[in-house]
Amino acid sequence: MSSKTKIQAGRNRVTVKDLARDLGMSVSTVSRAFYPDAVIASETRRTVLKRAEEIGYRANPFAKSLVTKKTQIVGMVVSDLANPYYPEVMTNLTGLLQGHGMNTMLVAPGRPEEIDPAVDLLLTYQPDLVIILATNFKSSAREKCEAAGAPCIFFNRLSADGLGFGVTCDNIEGGRKAADFLIDSGHTKLAYVSAFPGASTNVERGKGFCDRAVERGLSPPRIFEAGTFSYTDGYKAWRQVSEGEAPDGVFCANDIVAIGFIEGIQENLGLKVPDDVSVVGYDDIAMAGWPSHRLTTVAQPTREMMETTVELARELAGHHNHSDHEPRIVRIPPGPMVERQTTMRRSKQ
């Protein structure tokens, strides 16, 4: 039986030494074939990779990382899995990262006190960088990651201290766009359903919306505090509507809050959407377009945000000295207004 046949039939795991012996090459030559930037003849690389495929050899990424000082692991920290926007983002962002040879490792702390232990666990795997989604990340946690050589990229939400790298929609402009849409449609009594108080997305969308309404000559919009970016808290916000004059146009911090809010005011106050109240969300998640919702919303430029994040990740992962990169925030203009059936054009008084 030939050595090649023995490798195929007699072993469950093939090592680089087995492959080198099979090819009659040195271990160092075979190893270089698996490094795109290594100096090796093209024909030799093709021979090594072809035979590796035939006998089922896979380069050990952990062994490889000892040489490159890179694990190709991107840590991902996300807390708000109840918000449909983030599972959609995680699925697509993971695919984009894998297309560039980077693999994701997810930690999902459910409560604020679980964030630090989750980050400690993540750092034991020595990720090249960490992407933060929908998590109230403390400055100390970000500093811990950076000290371990893993810079942080904040996606959609920004760091509470304004430091680090970030990729986000221009949420202030998105809020202004929602205000203009409602005002141009004849609405004069506006309100904003606020979500998580400390989240940059919530703060900026509310500010853009309220400032623009005043600029256009309306009274400051009423603020209904939902509490979190969730259907349940959006639903509960109906109670605050009954405490004063009902608005005729409402902008919600995101789509899932808007869906909950609509069902809350319809079931408990008897208000009809859009006949009595027009409601606008933010994100344009897949659920917003379902026939049961048909929610008017401000679309996030999510694809562009993800592509920008991946490019930044590649840039950071490719350098050993991250101090050469000045932290920056990339703000991408919001997408279009997506007009569906939760808003209507009102005759101006």
pLDDT score of 35: 72
Question: Helix or strand or coil: residue 65?
Answer: helix
The CATH H-level superfamily of 171-300 is Response regulator (3.40.50.2300)
Sequence-distant (≥ 6) Cβ neighbours of residue 338 within 8 angstroms: 284, 288, 289, 296, 297, 298, 299
pLDDT score of 13: 78
pLDDT score of 33: 87
pLDDT score of 63: 56
Q: Where in the chain is the domain with CATH 1.10.260.40?
A: 3-59
Q: Which residue pairs from 94-100 have beta carbons closer than 8 angstroms and sit at least 24 positions apart in sequence?
A: 96/306, 96/307, 96/310, 97/310, 97/313, 100/310, 100/314
Write out the two tokens for 63. Answer: 């062994």
pLDDT score of 65: 54
From first to last of the 349 residues of the chain, give the pLDDT tens digit: 344 445 554 456 788 888 899 999 998 898 888 876 678 999 999 999 999 988 888 776 655 555 555 678 999 999 878 889 999 999 999 999 999 888 899 998 877 788 888 889 999 988 999 999 877 777 778 888 888 989 999 999 888 777 789 999 999 999 999 999 999 999 999 999 999 888 899 999 999 999 999 999 999 999 999 999 999 999 999 999 989 899 999 999 999 999 999 999 999 999 999 999 999 999 999 999 999 999 999 999 999 999 999 999 999 887 555 555 677 899 999 999 999 999 999 976 5
Q: Where in the chain is the domain with CATH 3.40.50.2300?
A: 69-169+302-332, 171-300
186: left (phi over 0), alpha (psi -120 to 50) or beta: left
Cα distances (angstroms) measured from residue 104 to each of 75, 113, 122, 130, 236: 6, 23, 11, 9, 36
The CATH H-level superfamily of 69-169+302-332 is Response regulator (3.40.50.2300)
99 alpha carbon, distance to own chain's centre: 17
pLDDT score of 9: 44
What's the CATH number of domain 3-59, 1.10.150.20, 1.10.260.40, 3.40.50.150, 1.10.287.610? 1.10.260.40
C-alpha span between 278 and 343 (Å, rounded)? 4
pLDDT score of 161: 76
CB 340 within 8 A of CB 280: no
pLDDT score of 5: 47
**Amino acid (one-letter) located at 225:** E
Whether the link from the prior residue into 274 is cis, omega within 30° of 0, is: yes
What is the Cβ-side half-sphere exposure of residue 314, based on CA atoms within 13 angstroms? 13
C-alpha span between 155 and 310 (Å, rounded)? 11
pLDDT score of 274: 98
C-alpha span between 177 and 168 (Å, rounded)? 16
Nearest one of 195, 8, 162 to 85, comparing CA atoms: 195
Question: Helix or strand or coil: residue 88?
Answer: helix
